[in-house]
Structure 1
């Protein structure tokens, strides 16, 4: 591959000792980066000593001696741990360098997870160092851990041991500000030379969302929202959904948040008037310019969202909003309790009976501004709500890949021809 590539069209190699199905923290990071970079349009190669991955756009390349538990490498490491260089080290270094060079052929950039800074396989580190020195601009060192930060780590003079105690000529990334400061001090370089990109979480897998939920969340851009209010009801006039829409309008105006409202149910099936009511709500949404903020899931799934997907939306929401003028029971209050979500609602007798002092209830004379103010106050002051919002906005893999990883890749190697 000799042409200059554009955004999302290059080949990214991810390198680690092991990758899934091997279980581990860094292995999980490699899997997430591979998945989301592939979804962004990159072709991804995961190169490791143990790896079996099947995903669209992801190629797994296994080079067994990259694994620290490989028989010959174990023997090599035992000798190296005594400060002696075994005679077969050079051959393993050259063998790994040749295998890696072939695996990297045609790639644009390679991300090295921990292999620049850990002593799990010194022959691998030495082979990669040789390749890095040929074209430093193409390499990103992703440092989760480092032996240089361990006081008990033995230090022997010369290569290959000292490779782990000095900064390589790569783009440096670490996972926290604390780790950046520690590495900068240990290496004697300015902290600004080390990027901080934290690890993340994947809500889709963590909560085991259904494929339908995943599709809806992506279509609606809900992971990018600042706040999501959930109204898990059918569309009928007694649910007073125009007030729910007005609450979201007021909340957006008050806070400047990208606040969203998700209404899960379809129009009630027993009266044609309910479909006319939906059209009224759509017109109101358009008049207030809330087409990208108020989401009727009926518009996407027809007659109703399956129960398992309704449950999924509780895992994404920040609060449950119920603006009904009449209720016989109030099941969403119980569901919100199980989901640990606050409930904001009008003080109807069934809701008072179910929620008591543990839900936020308002007189029916209160307007949407009062509910919006209460929601904003809660979300700004409750530590669990703040943490939840911060995680969703800053620490999910989709956000990290789009906002930090891809700009780093494109900013550094976007105009380079692929020469690996």
Structure 2
């Protein structure tokens, strides 16, 4: 396998500087490095290789920007600053196969930096978060004079990527090229980090493709005969073909009163018989004899925030704390129609008969998942989770480094 391209990622500033572009820059750099790329992050402020003249707050940069906006910019000062930036960038970019530049080729805040990049003769990918527009009516700026032409006109040899269809249309409107080529790769989100999962819990979940799991069903209960986890297995078997991303997490330990965890062993065998090894996961499998259960109540609270539905298959209960926890986490509950569950929930549950046949459980789960919230989460995971975005990002990189006129391999 050929080596992966060597990359440079550039912006005016980098994390830990706070900002939306900085956040995406940091995610891209970290995830590309984890995927085996040689990544060099270059900015005027923050982490990485620092060149102060890239920072929009640099005194020379601010002075040139103000003068350009006022229409009295000095060509000599502009070219001197651009030459300084180019000279300092050259050794940092010389060994890079692809240079991904965030906003610098679409915004006017440091046009000497823009000019230096375009003169670098590197394979450039312009990652467009924002397009310069007039403040009064939202129409694109129309100056085609240098140096504004560097951002107001499509530059030859540059691969453009917009973060949304809307932003791509802004670019095309700015360029006055309605069919101009530009990829769309949206910003991503890390569902586990957003849910506040601890590093420990992320590690426990690492074998499970949680970022692609939909629906994620949580069973926050012990593995005991009364909980009837076998019904959850049977219902999952019925739903798996219809819901290929179905993932079920059973949080609790095995029954302490069951000899040597016999019930857990039976459930694991049944899981294998049903072909659900990649679908249903027991945290009890990761337990170590003589040590505490792998997850605690804080971990379970995090899992609620990550889940699409809570499933309770028990045949009898005296209370129902998971219903309260699910309500606070805004997660629907699918459970047996026990009187105590009706009492605690006020009827706001998705019930199935206490007799507990798998078909009725599967039907109740489908109803719980047919909500605006559940559909929104599914759309986010399918379109905007970082694993999905990374596939698109790597395709952009492959296209940028491919020989001119040769399409990148799919």
TM-score greater than 0.5 by the shorter chain: yes
1:94 matched residue in structure 2:
83
Structure 2 residue 130 is the aligned partner of structure 1 residue 141: no
Partner residue in 2 for 1:200: 188
Cα distance change on mapping 1:315 and 1:366 into 2, 3 Å:
same
Greater share of residues in helix:
1
| From 299, 319, 336, the counterpart of 1:329 | 319
Contact 1:177 1:196 in 2 (8 A): yes
Moved more, 228-237 or 350-359: 350-359
Mapping 1:227-376, distance limit 5 Å: 227-253=215-241, 255-272=242-259, 275-302=261-288, 303-304=292-293, 305-376=295-366
Distance 1:382 1:191, change over 3 A: farther
- Aligned 8 A contact 2:12 2:55 in 1: yes
* TM-score, scaled relative to structure 2: 0.91
Verify the 8 A CA contact 1:346 1:364 in the aligned structure 2.
yes
Q: Does 1:13 align with 2:2?
A: no
Residue 41 of structure 1 aligns with which residue? 36
CA separation in 2, counterparts of 1:83 and 1:127?
Answer: 21
CA distance in 2, matches of 1:66, 1:109: 19
1:202 Cα deviation (Å)?
2.0
Shift of 1:301: 4.2
What is the CA deviation profile of residues 41-98 of structure 1, one whole-angstrom value per residue up to 9, with x for unaligned ones? 212211111022xxxxxxx110001011101111121211122331221111111011
Deviation, 1:149, is 7.1
Cα shift at 1:182: 2.7
The answer to whether the 8 Å contact 1:180/1:191 transfers is no
1:75 to 57, 60, 63: 63
Gaps of 5+ in 2: 405-410
CA contact (8 A) 1:5 1:414 kept: no
Contact 2:140 2:173 in 1 (8 A): no
CA distance in 1, matches of 2:282, 2:243: 22
RMSD: 2.0
Distance 1:284 1:50 in 2: 56
The higher-RCO structure (CA 8 Å, 6+ apart) is 1
CA contact (8 A) 1:5 1:415 kept: no
Q: Which piece of structure 1 moves more, 215-224 or 23-32? A: 215-224
Q: 201-210 or 256-265, which moves further after superposition?
A: 201-210
Structure 1 unmatched ranges of 5 or more: 53-59
Residue in 1 that maps onto 2:408: none
